[in-house]
Structure 1
Amino acid sequence: MKIYFKALLTLFLSKNSIVHSSIGLGILLLGFHFPIFSQGQLKIDAENQHITVFLNRAQIDARVKTNVQAGTTKLIISNVATTADPNSIQIGGKGDVMIMSVKFKQNYLGNKRRSTLEDSLKLAKSELEVVDVLVKVAENERNMLMANANVKSEKDGATPEDLKEMMDFFRTKLTEIGTRQMQLLRQSKDLQDKINRFQQQLTSQGTNINQPAGEIELTLQAKSATAIELNLSYIANNVGWSPIYDIRAKDVKSNIELAYRANVYQNTGIDWKNVRLSLSTANPAEGGAKPELYAQYLNINEPVETPKRNVRMSKGVMPVEMAMSAAPQAMDEVITVASVVNTVQSTLAVNFDIAIPYNIASGGNPEMVDIQNHSLRSTYKYYTVPKFDKDAFLTAIITDWEKYNLLPGVANVYFEGTFVGTTEIAGGEAKDSLMISLGRDKKIIAKRETVEEFKSRKNVGSNIRESFGARITLRNTKTEAINIVVEDQVPVSQDSRIEIELEEAKGAEFNKETGKLTWNLTLQPLENKEIILKYSVKYPKGKNIQGL
């Protein structure tokens, strides 16, 4: 009879304990009993089918197909992540069997990755030892030949013909030995390079290469020989992905093209080969429990005198940890590899199902996976802060960007086909627009200079009034008109005795709390503009004003 069973497995259950699934329990209630036969052992690799990668951790879904004999069988499932969370393991499947017990264990002798590298390293070292012996043999042959040459030359009565024959012989033999030595030395160098590479590979894998192999041990009981098909699911640690973006602007009249990508990394101890991937914006590591607020008590710490010591008593504030929920991600028109990504949005997260299978090595470099492409409607504006920098900076302003719910990440910025730098995208901010800097434009010249004639110092009763002024000049050397924002500032008082008065800043927006001045200007081709800024500071006599 066919059985479907599903059990939440726990670590280190004893061999004779029974994992009761609802169906298994039903079988026992019906009075069906499995006879006890001799116990056999079977080992098989789990075949990873689908992996859902969260921002931190991953859910691995695998499959196992095999045949078991009648009686009790100990099934060892290998190719399991060594970082698996034992409490998350679930098994379902079909077969005329009962699960008697389950264990998750780590096999310190079963790391195939390390074994393969170490075997290759040992083989290369053995080959090098043989080559080194052959080099010494050739050197001994050469030394013996030269010793015989000395003996031959010391003989009396050697004829010219004898000398010629001797020279030809030694020339031939020395050439043969020398050629063989050069070939052996080349082999020795190549083998030493190979050994170094194997050692570097072992070192580069770090602790990952030293990880034990993960295994799940099932004790199964069958009435008769039968085929079984198991579906295995569990959560693995040391896995995750992070967003990275490419932002491209063709010119100041085109939309911003945003490529949404993911850097997927994994250090599970097993390689993912030809698996289907899903990327989720959920983060199981953050936890899903709502934070609780506790009473916040206030008290005044007052010393209480006693004959021996002073005692201070106070009430504390209980800390509260806030859990962040992952921002959902919407999908716009896609035009590259992202076209094979299916976006599934749930209440709490978004999943990106990648149709193309991927290979991702454990402990290797992160794999870049395309997710989405967006064409973002943008407006372009120049900004300059001549107080600190004479250049103007081109920026792209994206409105309604919050509907894309982008996750925080680094963006590579390209303008007119040239890489101009990186910027940060901070998802979840309560702003109605996103500003992206596209770099400097040397064709817009900004200059700020202090005007000495605007400076003055006067006594006003018990106070001193100092006046300051600056001239900002702008020039557009481009052949088209531009919109530019000019920013400057005046000091902000943090003392009621210090008064600041803005005397001249025609056309500027003024934020009194921050002292920031903003001019929104349009510069026609080859146009010059001048901005005058004047302000005064009044403060008590004899006081040294910090920051003035």
Structure 2
Amino acid sequence: MQKLLFTLTFLLSIYVNAQSQSRDNGDTTRTDAEISNATVYFGYGAELTHQSKVKLNNNTKIIVINRLGTNIDLNSLQISVPEDVALLSHRFGLFTPPAPVWVKPPVAVLMEDSIESIREEIGKVESLIGIEAEVLQKTGTLIESAMTNNGNKQILSAEVLKLVDYYNAKIEKTKTNIYNHQQTKGKLTKKAEEIRKRIAALQPVNVIREKSYGQLFLQVFTKRTGEIPVSISYYTRNAGWVPVYDIRVNSKTNKVKLIYKASLTQTSGVDWKKAKLTLSTGTPNFGVTAPVLSPWFLQLYVPELYKDLQGRAAGINAQRNTIQSMNDDNAMKEEVMTTAPGEKKIFKELGYSQTIDPSTMNAYTTLNEGQLNTNYEIELPYDIESDGKMNSIAIKEEEIVCTLKNYAVPRMDKETYLMAEVADWQNLDLLPGDANIIMDDTYIGKSLIDPNTIADTLNLSLGRDKRVVVKRSLVKELSSLKTSGSTTKQSFTYELVIKNNKQTDINLLLKDQFPMSTIKEVEVNLEDSGDAIVNSETGVITWKLNLKPGESKKVRFTYSVKYPKDKKIVNLK
């Protein structure tokens, strides 16, 4: 035990001396770098800037800078030193700190000595058990030999009984000794185990091992002495942010606030302490090379390929019936729409930890627009650990000018939806991202904002509005089925009843449709549009209605379908 302690002490002293020599060597200076700025890019990627102070003397040749990121793009590495310091070369590497060595207290050493003594006692007891077992085995052998190998000599009964009694007593004594020795061994083993537990209790429960970090070795030449600043910047892929929006609606004032937030994560290998953040909408390494035209070769018509492309085009055309603006009568106008599925929940269930009110962030956020991207510079220090967890960061808050309207398609859904129509949304600097819909401090659901469009109007779905009721029904007395000659004509009249149960006026965008025919024998005629806006290419009819509190309105439309009487249309209703 003493030899082991001596060896460990000797090795530890060698390690400490080596470290001290490397630090005290006159030509090497070591320092730690601190992150001052972090420019985080949309999606992934970040540019980190470190600052450090280095003390130089006349013999300084190597500067070792610690606490850098572990995964950096060496091509992007930028090092800045004063002009009177010549940077000859640099080298980057990873350093993994050794695990902390537990120094045993004197009481633990005494406990280990006690365990060693107990092990010796257990060895003695095991030796006694072996001796007794051998005696027991030989005793049985002697009894068997005395009873069988007696030649022609006659053994009297009294002698047999005396021999058996002797050997029985001998066997009983031997087995009793073995049992006692085993009990002693068990007690010693239990005692040693209790001491081991006491030693384990002295050790730290959670040994925090320091994480690996990057090191930068700079070979310099200078005659300068004293402290100099060193600035280091580089790009790493192990960070990024995506936008998250809060859309807050006040149903009493009809005001809408749009809160910009960033969901940021980083695993750069170094914790960001009191770093100033810049959130950039750009993405490095994309769009660097301009496109070049290649030869355009024509191909012959392939029926299977054409059929597949035709099917895709049909799917795209089916989605072109988008929501229309309340302020534009152009029935073909395309717009952006976001949806808000899900039931109502209280906003506190979202789990966001917002430490700064977004309304105060405008005073600390500077917007810089460049040729290729937009940067949000936040003049506040942030602490973000390198653990991969999401950090919600408030950017700014804007009160957007929008028109609230209700939207209903009773043929597809019996519910009515409340929509916010934003006209000049291109000036909001939006990025694709999730949006939390919050009305009157109540969480309604999630929506999706996708600004990658050329549409002029952005429609935000604010959820179901149960205070506006729409009912669609077939008017049977005005619907008919007639057969004349070889043709059959069916007429359908639908009535839509709308009631406003709100305490305020509403604007309702009501939609329905009549069928379209691509078959020559089938004719469709919209006989009465009910004063609706008709899109003859899609078959969609739209009403723009204004309802006062408690007011009800009815609209009707009629269409007819004529087809051969020996044919049947499966999806007529």
Question: What is the deviation of 1:249?
Answer: 1.7
The residue that corresponds to 1:270 in the other structure is 270
Count of equivalent residues:
404
**Alpha-carbon distance, 1:58 to partner:** 1.0
2:64 is the counterpart of 1:76? yes
C-alpha deviation, 1:277, in angstroms: 1.0
Structure 2 residue aligned with 1:315? none
| Distance change in 2, residues 1:64/1:456 (3 Å) | same
Cα offset, 1:480, TM superposition:
3.5
% identical equivalent positions: 32
Seen in structure 2, the aligned counterparts of structure 1 residues 459 and 292 have a Cα distance that, compared at 3 Å, is farther
The Cα of 1:455 is off from its aligned counterpart by: 4.0
**Map of 1:50 onto structure 2:** 37
2:448 matched to which residue of 1? 424
Q: Which amino acid aligns with 2:437?
A: V
TM-score by length of 2: 0.63
Contact kept? 1:52, 1:59, Cα under 8 Å: yes
Aligned AA for 2:359?
I
Task: Note if 1:261 corresponds to 2:297.
Answer: no
Partner of 2:299: 299
1:442 aligns with 2:430: no
- CA displacement at 1:541 relative to structure 2: 4.7
2: distance between equivalents of 1:540 and 1:417?
Answer: 58
Contact in 2 for aligned 1:338/1:370 (Cα 8 Å): no
CA offset at residue 533 of structure 1?
A: 2.4
Counterpart residue number, 1:161: none
* Mapped partners of 1:427, 1:465: distance in 2: 46
CA contact (8 A) 1:405 1:428 kept: no
Partner residue, 2:28? 41
In structure 2, the residue matched to 1:159 is: none
Q: Distance in 1 between matches of 2:388 and 2:268?
A: 11
1:339 alignment partner, SS class = coil
Deviations 1:103-152 (A, max 9, x none): 22233x24x9xx68xx89x99xxx9xx9xx99xx9xxxxxxxxxxxxxxx
What's the offset of the Cα at 1:225?
4.7
Q: Is the 8 A contact 1:98 1:222 kept in 2?
A: yes
Gaps of 5+ in 1: 1-37, 138-180, 203-208, 303-333
Match of 1:363 in 2: 387
Tell me the residue number matched to 2:290: 290
CA positional deviation for 1:388: 2.8
Per the alignment, do residues 509 and 380 of structure 1 end up closer, same or farther by CA in structure 2, a change over 3 Å counting?
A: same
Counterpart selection for 2:49 from 61, 74, 82: 61
Higher strand share: 1
Specify whether residues 62 and 534 from structure 1 end up closer, same or farther in structure 2 by C-alpha distance, changes over 3 A only.
Answer: same
Select the residue among 493, 509, 526 that pairs with 1:485. Answer: 509
State which of 356, 370, 375 in structure 2 corresponds to 1:346.
370
Give the match for residue 322 of structure 1: none
Structure 1 pair 498–72 and aligned structure 2 pair: CA distance change class (3 A): farther
1:225 and 1:537, CA in 2 relative to 1: closer, same or farther beyond 3 A? same
8 Å Cα contact 2:254-2:404 kept in structure 1: no
Cα distance in 2 for residues equivalent to 1:458 and 1:290: 65
Q: Deviations over 1:76-111 (max 9, x none)?
A: 22211112100000111216432222122233x24x
SS of residue in 1 equivalent to 2:359: coil
Between 87-96 and 251-260, the greater mean CA deviation after superposition? 251-260
Q: Distance in 2 between matches of 1:258 and 1:530?
A: 36
- TM-score, with normalisation over the residues of structure 1? 0.66
Q: How much is the aligned-residue C-alpha RMSD, in angstroms?
A: 3.4
Which sits farther off after the overlay, 448-457 or 500-509? 448-457
SS in 2 for 1:406: coil
Report how far residue 518 of structure 1 moved.
Answer: 0.9
How far, CA to CA, are the matches of 1:301 and 1:513 in structure 2? 28
> Does the 8 A contact of 1:95 with 1:226 survive in 2?
no
Other-structure match for 1:233: 233
Contact 2:53/2:230 (<8 A) preserved: yes
Q: Secondary structure at the match of 1:335?
A: helix
Q: What is the Cα deviation at residue 274 of structure 1? A: 0.6
C-alpha distance in 1 between matches for 2:503 and 2:46: 54
Q: Does 1:502 align with 2:526?
A: yes
Q: How has the CA–CA distance of structure 1 residues 335 and 299 changed in structure 2, closer, same or farther, with 3 Å as cutoff?
A: closer
Rounded Cα–Cα distance in structure 1 between residues aligned with 2:528 and 2:570: 23
